[in-house]
A and B are shown apart, each in its own frame.
Chain A
Amino acid sequence: MSPDPFPLGPHPHPLGAPLVRREGREKVTGTARYAAEHTPPGCAYGWPVPATVARGRITAVETDEALALPGVCAVLTHENAPRLAATDDPTLSVLQEDRVPHRGWYVALAVADSLEAARAAAEAVRVTYETGEHDVGLSADHPRLYEPETANGGYPGTRERGDFEGAFAAAPVTVDATYTVPPLHNHPMEPHASTARWTDGHLTVHDSSQGSTRVCEDLAALFKLDKDEVTVVSEHVGGGFGSKGTPRPQAVLAAMAARHIGRPVKVSLPRREMPAVVGHRAPTVQRVRLGARDDGVITALSHEIATHTSTVKEFVEQAAVPARIMYTSPNSRTVHRVVPLDVPSPSWMRAPGEAPGMYALESAVDELAVLLDIDPVELRMRNEPDTEPDSDRPFSSRHLVDCLREGAERFGWLPRDPRPAVRRQGDLLLGTGVAAATYPVLIVGSDAEAHADADGSYRIRVNATDIGTGARTVLVQIAAAALNVPEDRIRIEIGSSDLPPAFLAGGSAGTGSWGWVVHKACTQLVARLREHHGPLPAEGLTVAADTRKETAEQSPYSRHSFGATFAEVQVDTATGEVRVRRMLGVYAAGRILNSRTARSQFIGGMTMGLGMALMEGSGLDPAFGDFAECDLASYHVPACADVPLIEAYWLDEEDPHLNPMGSKGIGEIGIVGTAAAIGNAVRHATGVRLRDLPLTPDKVLRHL
């Protein structure tokens, strides 16, 4: 065995020390229990019935045959399911009406004593529909495209500065290119699952979620309960990548069914049904236009997005937003247009907006570099803004140039022959590419408690969620630093809505949001202990803190992480197969709080970006209206063999305008920029600019 690459020094460990995951042993020995592994006594099983039409109305649901099967407790349909309160997330209004908005929408839930019986019952339910013509085809000239007021994240749908058209027309050098990204699926390792039970009017749900506070609030609203009548537990979660950010239908179905039959009910989604009901990254058609002077300085920048949403709700992938902060340009236009189609509802997937948007923008910048014959690292440096271009606010810290420099040095970027298609090894053509990355800093007010026990131990309570990232571990590190005690004297409770409420694990905001309030509670506890004389009372001392006030204040700064990704690829001219040979990411993301788990997040994001570049893609089947690739055999994600040499580094960035830890959030930036770096490397290798992801052999070979 190779030595631990992260040797841990003696106490006290500074923030950033590579502590191992506190629950690592439970996870690798299989004793960590996930949502579907909780089986209360008398638990029944639910199996959903997905619609088999893409648009229509249910005219009849025949359940007699299903109900006659052995062990079947009930079949819930829109006719008999408990009525739910109105919700601002209509994807949760399951079994409430006869409308079918897309194929795969749940039209019934069979509930039985065993999983097998529930499934048999679900298959025996006969649903008849009145169907209408469906439309699942996105195109940049779809007649029903409109400009939404806002895109995901609350960003304005359209922003304009100066006179883009005039400046573009006058620019001596221009790029006008359209890039497409297909629908992508989150596919976390652990499928969505919920186990619900009602006890004397109190609803308890074990849910696979990125944030049980939000699930608790939404379930309480849907079932017209007080929040303290609902407990949602998400102790261990096997990934989410955004698809578990808010409740998904299985939580509602489980709670409904449990109430309906008066027993606990477990609903665990089959992998194949996930693409239709847990959200996906919407496809984008992105036109980027850049106008530049001969020295490479961009004078006109336009990024226009066409994307789809469902007829259930408006979700607009904010892919044009990063163009508002990346490069200086006095004339700029960023526009989103969206068309509601008869498709499953899109939602968040790791770096919504930035991942697809920076693929297009960073590819276009590379195209500009090729036109100008300027090194793409150098070109980016020439377009570094002094303030955020869109708002003119100062950056709290921006070290993109340092990331590019450090990355170029570590990667061995120079000397680089810019000529394409000249590095040949047998059938292989080799090339290198670079792209920039960015992701905003988001911090949301949360609550936490810090408790000092009479025996000298400490306890932190905060409803953070550990979706595999190491949240427990890093929060204890933050507490240990604030309390100035060794980590092993601190216990932490997370993953239950009965704990002090906190933001979800999403938007790269978890650690910053939770860490701030944990730090605040611990700092106040230290002050209280300092004032306290004599031994502690038997019940110890507890301090509660919240950060709503601090986090609600609008920062005068533009706050973003930045990074640079470098990739070397080989393209097989005989087969069109593209493989990454090595990849490097360098990030400036504030203070890194745990180097072991941080590295894991960075390279995990980069690996997901590699998948986006080379193999991930799902198509909407025009005839049936659903995603054709709905399992992990047909929706390819990178295998170990696809990721031979990958490394992430970070700068020691100090930023006093963030939170007490000085951290920015790192869950998403790794995926940003990676697809562009790989696409740019493919262009360098072959001389062919491909603008339609993923770069699979069928698309690549014809150009070689």
Chain B
Amino acid sequence: MKPFGYVRAASIGEAVRAAAGQPEARFLGGGTNLVDLMKLGVETPQLLIDVTRLPLDRIEELPDGGLRIGAMVRNSELAAAAPVRDRYPVLSQALLAGASGQLRNTATTGGNLLQRTRCLYFQDTSKPCNKREPGTGCPARDGAHRDLAVLGHSEHCVATQPSDMAVALAALDATVHLHGPDGERTVAAAEFHRLPGDKPEQDSVIGAGELVTSVQLPPASPGMRSRYRKARDRASFAFALVSVGAVLEVRDGVVRHAALAFGGLAHRPWRARAAEKVLYGAPATEDTFARAADAELAAARPLRDNGFKVPLARNLAVGVLADLADRAARS
């Protein structure tokens, strides 16, 4: 075993200072992904900075009506929180669609955002992988890639981001709050993860030594409806083949606000801006929803074995939007 150091941080400042200048340091939250990757030899940190005791375990109402979710709030607690269930059901549903009860009890909000791809080659250190070892190649392009990306992939990487929660956050226009050696900053959840390009080793825009401290949700308007739906190989405990998180506001049969994000399609939660353009101001009909989905998915470039994701994403998006519009019409 490769020896590693372990420190338990008592404050955000202490955690950030401990990580400063140490590229081989990792923050340890629930450890449900990091520790697995250490067992596989994929992650070999020299220092683990345990941040689970930091005072980031609260869900707080913000003065503007939004919600601040501490980075150490456990997934199960977040899914069950009344304000989340009442005002942001898409987030609660996404969390409950992920992993298993045991994992959700352990996994943290910050850690969930930072979980890594489940691409089989990334997890197998006996094989090449540009994400794990830049420059070694991407066997997934021609290999086992049924579960991998159809949008935004590059010749270097076709991995997908596996988080369900992140898809809901992208659709909710949430923000991710970071604290690093250069102070604090805020990134839109939809921009937090990046596309692989020629740097697939970078999953997100988080900088060296930066710690996720919270996720903030903007206020939910009274007419806003949201929903998450995930298609998978078995009824629970499986990553999304494709998922969709949707937020919709319809007045007088017309779409007033729409936010749509896909999971399982790309290296990041795929915020469907092209679809949203079609939706805004259009009649809330299945025809509109289908046109919107098609507008977004026109950019898809499926690999040999994952073409099914395109119609699957279309069907999920149309179904979820139609359901939300139907509920709006009935209320």
Chain A contact residues, CB within 8 Å of chain B: 50, 52, 116-117, 119-120, 123, 272, 427, 572, 574-577, 579, 614-615, 619, 621-624, 628-631, 633-634, 636, 638-642, 696-698, 701-702
Is B305 an interface residue when CB atoms closer than 8 A count as contact? yes
Task: Give the distance in Å from the alpha carbon of A615 to the alpha carbon of B146 in the complex.
Answer: 14
Residue B139 lies at the interface, judged by CB distance under 8 Å to chain A = yes
Interchain CB contact under 8 A, A636 and B238: yes
CB-based contact A120/B144 at 8 Å: no
Give min CB distance, A45 to chain B, whole Å: 12
User: What residues of B have a CB within 8 angstroms of the CB of A427 in the complex?
Assistant: 319
Asked whether A614 and B231 contact (CB < 8 A) given A120-B2, A575-B312, A698-B306, the answer is: no
Whether the Cβ atoms of A628 and B234 lie closer than 8 Å is: no
7 contacts between A and B (CB under 8 A): A272-B40, A272-B124, A629-B144, A631-B123, A639-B234, A641-B235, A697-B312
Chain A's closest residue to B315 (CB) is A574
Contacts A574-B315, A628-B120, A701-B315 given; 20 further ones with Cβ under 8 A? A116-B1, A272-B124, A574-B316, A574-B319, A575-B315, A576-B312, A619-B144, A621-B139, A621-B143, A624-B143, A629-B120, A634-B118, A636-B234, A639-B100, A641-B237, A697-B233, A697-B241, A697-B308, A697-B312, A701-B308
Q: Is residue B87 within 8 Å, beta carbon to beta carbon, of the partner chain?
A: no
Residue of A577, A614, A624, A698 near B139 (CB, 8 A) is: A624
Known contacts A427-B319, A633-B118: A579-B312 contact under CB 8 Å: no
Known contacts A123-B41, A629-B120; is A576 also within 8 Å of B308 by CB? yes
List of 7 A-B pairs having minimum Cβ-Cβ separation, nearest first: A116-B1, A641-B235, A628-B144, A575-B231, A574-B315, A641-B236, A698-B308
A701 touches B1 (CB 8 A): no
Query: Which of chain A's residues has its CB closest to B314's CB?
Result: A574
- Which residues in A have their C-beta under 8 angstroms from that of B237? 639, 641
A272 to B127, CA, bound (A): 14
B34-66 interface with A by 8 A CB criterion: 40-41
Closest A residue to B242 using CB positions: A575
Residues in B whose Cβ lies below 8 Å from that of A701: 308, 311-312, 315
Q: Report the nearest A residue to B127, measured CB to CB.
A: A624
| Segment 283-330 of B: residues with Cβ below 8 Å from A | 305-306, 308, 311-312, 315-316, 319
Q: B142-181 vs A: 1/0 string, CB under 8 Å? A: 1110100000000000000000000000000000000000
Contacts A117-B1, A575-B316, A633-B118; is A623 near B139 (CB within 8 Å)?
yes
- Determine the residue in chain B with the shortest Cβ distance to A116: B1
Q: A120-B2, A698-B308 are in contact. Are A621 and B319 (CB under 8 A)?
A: no
CB-defined contacts of B2 to chain A, threshold 8 Å: 120
Residue among A123, A575, A576, A614 making CB contact with B234, cutoff 8 Å: A614
Across-interface contacts of B234 in A (CB, < 8 A): 614-615, 636, 638-639, 641-642
Interface of A is mostly: loop
Query: How far does the alpha carbon of A20 sit from the alpha carbon of B239 in the complex, in Å?
Result: 37
Chain A residues lying within 8 Å of B319, measured Cβ to Cβ, are: 427, 574
The number of chain B residues with a CB under 8 A from chain A is: 34
Given contacts A614-B234, A638-B234, contact A702 B308 (CB under 8 A): yes
CA–CA, A622 to B305, complex, Å? Answer: 14
Q: Give, as a whole number of angstroms, the nearest-CB distance from A481 to chain B.
A: 42
Rounded to whole angstroms, the CA-CA distance of A633 and B123 in the bound complex is 11
Residues from chain B with a CB closer than 8 A to the CB of A638 are 234
Query: Is the contact region of chain B dominated by helix, strand, or loop, or is it mixed?
Result: loop
Q: Which residues of B contact A630 (CB under 8 A)?
A: 124
| Assembled-state Cα–Cα distance A696/B241 (Å) | 10
CB A666 to nearest CB in B, in angstroms, measures: 26
Within 8 A of A (CB), among B114-129: 118, 120, 123-124, 126-127
Task: List the B side residues contacting A614 at CB < 8 Å.
Answer: 233-234
- Selected from B100, B120, B123, B232, the residue in CB contact (under 8 A) with A577 is B232
CA of A634 to CA of B142, assembled, Å: 18
How many angstroms from the CA of A243 to the CA of B232 in the assembled complex? 28
Q: How far, in whole Å, are A633 and B139 apart by their CA atoms in the complex?
A: 19
Q: Is there an interface contact between A698 and B118, defined as CB atoms closer than 8 Å? A: no
Report the minimal beta-carbon distance from B268 to chain A, rounded to whole angstroms. 21
Query: Smallest CB–CB gap between A637 and chain B, Å?
Result: 8
CB-nearest residue of chain B to A632: B237
User: How far apart are B132's CB and chain A's nearest CB, in angstroms?
Assistant: 15
In whole Å, how far is B192's beta carbon from the nearest beta carbon of chain A? Answer: 24
Determine the residue in chain A with the shortest Cβ distance to B142.
Answer: A623
- List of B residues within 8 angstroms of A119 by Cβ: 1
CA distance A450 to B146 in the complex (A): 57
Docked-complex contact A120 and B120, CB < 8 angstroms: no
With a cutoff of 8 Å between Cβ atoms, the chain A residues found around residue B1 in the complex are: 116-117, 119-120
Assembly CA distance A615 to B232 (angstroms): 10
Expressed in whole angstroms, the minimum distance between the Cβ of A475 and any Cβ of chain B is 35
A631 to B237, CA, bound (A): 14
Q: Which residue of A lies closest to B308 (CB)?
A: A698
Of all chain B residues, which has the CB nearest A573?
A: B315
Report whether A639 and B236 are in contact in the complex, using a CB–CB cutoff of 8 Å: yes
**Which chain A positions have C-beta within 8 A of B315?**
574-575, 701
Q: Looking at the complex, which one of B100, B146, B235, B238 makes contact with A698 (CB distance below 8 Å)?
A: B146
Query: Within the complex, what minimum Cβ distance (angstroms) separates B304 from chain A?
Result: 12
Q: What residues of chain B lie closer than 8 Å to A574, measured between beta carbons?
A: 315-316, 319
Most-contacted residue by chain A among B126, B231, B233, B236 (CB, 10 A) = B233
Residues of chain B contacted by A639 (CB below 8 angstroms)? 100, 234-238
CB distance from A617 to the nearest CB of B (A): 9
Q: Name the A residues within 8 Å of B143 (CB-CB).
A: 621-624, 628
CB within 8 Å of A: which B81-119 residues? 100, 118
Minimal Cβ-Cβ distance residue in B for A118: B1
A628 to B142, CA, bound (A): 13
Residues of A within 8 A of B236 (CB): 639-642
Inside 8 A of B232's CB, which chain A residues have their CB?
577, 697
Are B233 and A615 touching (Cβ within 8 A)? yes
CB distance from B48 to the nearest CB of A (A): 16
> Which residues of chain B are near A636, meaning CB under 8 Å?
233-234, 238
Complex formed: what's the CA distance from A629 to B238 in Å? 14
Q: Contacts of A624 on B, CB cut-off 8 Å?
A: 127, 139, 143
Contacts of B126 in A (CB 8 A): 50, 52
- The answer, among A619, A622, A698, A702, for a CB contact under 8 Å with B241, is A698
Contacts of B144 in A (CB 8 A): 619, 621, 628-629
In the assembled complex, the Cα of A119 lies from the Cα of B96 at a distance in Å of 36
Chain A residue numbers with a CB within 8 Å of B311 are 701-702
User: Are B120 and A634 in contact, with the CB atoms below 8 A?
Assistant: yes
In the bound complex, what is the Cα–Cα distance between A702 and B238 (angstroms)?
Answer: 21
What's the nearest-Cβ distance from chain A to residue B308, in Å? Answer: 4
Chain B window 1-28, contacts with chain A (Cβ cutoff 8 Å), 1 for yes, 0 for no: 1100000000000000000000000000
Bound Cα distance A470, B178 (Å): 55
Q: Please name the residue on chain B nearest to A638 by beta carbon.
A: B234
For residue A100, give the distance in angstroms from its CB to the closest CB of chain B: 14
Q: Which residue of A lies closest to B232 (CB)?
A: A577
Q: Chain B contacts of A641 at CB under 8 A?
A: 234-237
List, in ascending order, chain B residues with CB within 8 A of A634's CB. 118, 120
Q: Roughly how many angstroms separate A52 CA and B128 CA in the complex, as a whole number?
A: 12
Bound CA–CA A634/B145 (angstroms): 12
Q: Given the complex, which residues of A lie within 8 Å of B100, measured CB to CB?
A: 639
Closest residue of chain B to A115, judged by CB? B1
A416–B174 alpha-carbon span in the complex (Å): 51
Inter-subunit contact A579/B231 (CB<8 Å): no
Q: Give the nearest-CB partner of A644 in chain B.
A: B235
